[in-house]
Structure 1
């Protein structure tokens, strides 16, 4: 099995996907190990020679920054920090995202500016490699002093506290230690703060959403192309000439994708078509393309973030400096997570409009795409469902990043609310997937109602694959099952 070396190359969204999809093990590279050991040694030497207060290392935290803590109590200080900050509540964070949190926290600590012990980072590596996933909760982070509450829950099992998922069982960390023959770690100065400061909750959600977004954007083009053919649309809006004179990359890519999907279609080649198509069909390159370009920018922000040191204070052994700064502040992520919500919500919005057009009983298609409409309601209510979800997405697109509530008795007086942006972004991702699944049902139904004419070989193959799960709708049946199967089809396949 391939082993990914932490601390050699930059993480990218693509490399994270490969690590997760191929279930790669990870290990600290020699370079990362050297950096971690050097930084820890520097801090130990520093503390042995000074009694000056250094924030978070021999002082209290936040508003309690001026409270000096005796050297004999520094270990207890870090232990208490994890316990007191583990204030998460709400639903459990999905386990795939918890695994990403572990990976991204290890990556951040590997740079040697956090002064954690090598044994601490290695235990996190062991968690990742053994699929030991701490129980973390969705609510509790302001996205500014790092993701304090969720990262505290992520770190609790290191000291024998909290709960973990292991081998499909949720168990107390004490039981895990018995199974693995481990002893709880005794944290040294600064370690607890290094573990709970950072943006890995927001970052993990963002990476996960970006991985899902890549598949959804590919499906959006495939489903739109099917709908375009099923609605008897023109090929003109996808020809190169109009796009090279407005050459946004995403627009050019989308137009080419649509042409590729439609190549060889009998339907698109028909004569006597209407002079123009509705915007939801005609403007697919412009709308889908804008979302693609937005996602590309958002990805660049997250790829910078997941290769950064985001705890506080930052320790610089070579410069003999310990700097208390603000790399834990999640504003870059809060803004882009809100942006990702909007970019993906628009994919759902235009998809719902195409569904509406397909069931409208125009262009030679029967109302609601069913024979004997009246006796049968056909796909009427699928559009209601899509409309409901599209409307929910509009509500979820209210930006979290413009909000702030003062915390820590005024010391932490501006926060990003990026954690809220992260959790609602995941909801938008799921919603768009369901909207596209509904459009896929309607587009495939309409396509078969065009027989004997056929679409392109590529779309016809997609139809055949889809029909293995969702059959043609002859008469009314329980459509919730069809929607669920269509969602599964999108999840399980790459167009």
Structure 2
């Protein structure tokens, strides 16, 4: 690490709560990327992985000195057949970074850029890029110091985040600005308290040349980082939604039969069976519950929770599998192979698997949110709650939580828009040489944007479920996860049930879902 960050009297000392993530180019996962993006851990390059980087760097220079290698001794895109004269090679890399650092739109938040830096550092440690080792060190320094380059939103179509990564490259050479922490990263906070600016905390400028530029930007690290953040949040929210669904089920005296073990043994989809098992755990239902004394079966919002939540969990698992491969992939074009002393030109940067997995995941998530609005409608119906319409108080013609159905439907509308398959997009670029695009980058952005709308939909259901349970004076025991969830919700949500604005209630309920995620995870045993 640079002496500017660690070896001075003003050194950044990690708090005791900050752990380590060893980046090895082989086993880094989604949770590791999230921890680094949040500043909850500091990165350490693995020793063997750094050896791979050094071997790849040495091999790349030898290969480029004796043959034509795309982006090193040639131009890129439609300029691939234009040779770079030896005397111009040193400046070629810098010109490539300057010309490609044209991302547009809003600046991305710190968390997303930090996720990108973490992914790119780990990919480089897989050893196929042929990039100088000090770049890996510099990316890790930036993560540790809490600084990040300015990166703009648009510039990728799912065949490499070249514009965003070119901005990173220019920041590494000292031609592009760095920002300080957004929302507070513990390591950077300590450093900035000493009066140092983000530029002071930035890594030492790198001397990037023709052997470095394309090797740095030939990656989908931003898309992968954004996808990792979105998966982490939405997977947790899907679990929290099941806790909310459990409270709603209790509020309407719903049947437990839909979650019976024999039902899911007879149709053994992994996700559905696990959702049913967890629901039994949340509400204390038997594996083989007795039939209800009243209605024979519930509306789909209660009866089909396993069949709709289950596929969402399966889609999350599938997406994580794709992300794990890509976060640890040497997907740079060309791939530098020290064993063969060869540079292999290929299309491994094309993100069809990721785009399709993200599209599938968003569609599954939207189904889960739509089911939440179904339960909300049922909670407003006296035939199921044995309470007043819309869970209103006893004033004549009170509207109660009526407006929540409209608000939830509006937020669900955004979710439906975000779930449109990005992989249907098409682009022909660079004079027709690059005639296909996965639009995985759009899929990742849409998945991130879905998080806020999803929270609000389920927040509306939670407000209604808690009000119904309060009015019925139903309190599941604290030994049950659902009982602990209700106790937590009642400590946060306003008990006044008179007609009043419910904006703050839904905001508080949406924020509470992260703590419900912990309750849901506790039912995984």
- Give yes or no for TM over 0.5: yes
Q: CA deviation at 1:373?
A: 5.8
Counterpart of 2:472 in 1: which secondary structure?
Answer: coil
Question: Which residue of structure 1 aligns with residue 214 of structure 2?
Answer: 193
Question: Which residue of structure 2 aligns with residue 325 of structure 1?
Answer: 346
Q: Distance in 2 between matches of 1:212 and 1:305?
A: 19
Distance of aligned partners of 1:34 and 1:83 in 2 relative to their CA distance in 1, 3 Å threshold: same
Structure 2 runs not aligned, ≥5 long: 1-15, 185-195, 520-525
Question: Which residue of structure 2 aligns with residue 486 of structure 1?
Answer: 509
Are 2:57 and 1:40 aligned? yes
Q: Deviations over 1:399-420 (max 9, x none)?
A: 1102111011101111111111
Counterpart of 1:406 in 2: which secondary structure?
Answer: coil
Counterpart of 2:431 in 1: which secondary structure?
Answer: helix
Q: CA deviation at 1:9?
A: 4.9
Q: Distance in 2 between matches of 1:444 and 1:351?
A: 14
Q: CA deviation at 1:367?
A: 1.1
Q: CA deviation at 1:161?
A: 2.4
Higher mean alpha-carbon deviation, 485-494 vs 64-73, is at 485-494
Counterpart of 1:90 in 2: which secondary structure?
Answer: strand
Counterpart of 1:96 in 2: which secondary structure?
Answer: helix
Question: Which residue of structure 2 aligns with residue 431 of structure 1?
Answer: 453
Question: Which residue of structure 2 aligns with residue 108 of structure 1?
Answer: 123
Contact 1:238–1:256 under 8 Å retained in 2 = yes
Q: Distance in 2 between matches of 1:261 and 1:250?
A: 16
Question: Which residue of structure 1 aligns with residue 46 of structure 2?
Answer: 29
Structure 1 runs not aligned, ≥5 long: none
Aligned residues: 485
Question: Which residue of structure 1 aligns with residue 398 of structure 2?
Answer: 376
Q: CA deviation at 1:108?
A: 0.7
Higher mean alpha-carbon deviation, 233-242 vs 469-478, is at 469-478
Q: CA deviation at 1:240?
A: 0.9
Q: Distance in 2 between matches of 1:384 and 1:237?
A: 28
Contact 1:378–1:473 under 8 Å retained in 2 = no
Question: Which residue of structure 2 aligns with residue 69 of structure 1?
Answer: 84
Q: CA deviation at 1:311?
A: 1.7
Q: Distance in 1 between matches of 2:183 and 2:305?
A: 45
Q: CA deviation at 1:349?
A: 0.7
Are 2:434 and 1:412 aligned? yes
Counterpart of 1:25 in 2: which secondary structure?
Answer: strand
Contact 2:116–2:222 under 8 Å retained in 1 = yes
Q: CA deviation at 1:5?
A: 2.4
Counterpart of 1:41 in 2: which secondary structure?
Answer: helix
Q: Distance in 1 between matches of 2:165 and 2:515?
A: 31
Would you identify which runs of 4 or more consecutive aligned residues in structure 1 move more than 6 Å? 268-271
Contact 1:213–1:429 under 8 Å retained in 2 = yes
2:418 to 396, 400, 413: 396
Counterpart of 1:337 in 2: which secondary structure?
Answer: helix
Contact 2:102–2:155 under 8 Å retained in 1 = yes
Distance of aligned partners of 1:28 and 1:92 in 2 relative to their CA distance in 1, 3 Å threshold: same
Counterpart of 1:91 in 2: which secondary structure?
Answer: strand
Are 2:183 and 1:160 aligned? no
Q: CA deviation at 1:45?
A: 2.6
Q: Deviations over 1:47-66 (max 9, x none)?
A: 44x3x432110111100111
Question: Which residue of structure 1 aligns with residue 3 of structure 2?
Answer: none
Contact 2:355–2:440 under 8 Å retained in 1 = yes
Question: Which residue of structure 1 aligns with residue 276 of structure 2?
Answer: 255
TM-score, length basis structure 2: 0.87
Q: Deviations over 1:166-220 (max 9, x none)?
A: 14599xxxx9685248542110223111211111122111111111122112111
Counterpart of 2:21 in 1: which secondary structure?
Answer: strand
- Say what the alpha-carbon RMSD is for the aligned residues: 2.3
Counterpart of 1:362 in 2: which secondary structure?
Answer: helix
Q: Deviations over 1:410-444 (max 9, x none)?
A: 01111111111110111122221221111111111
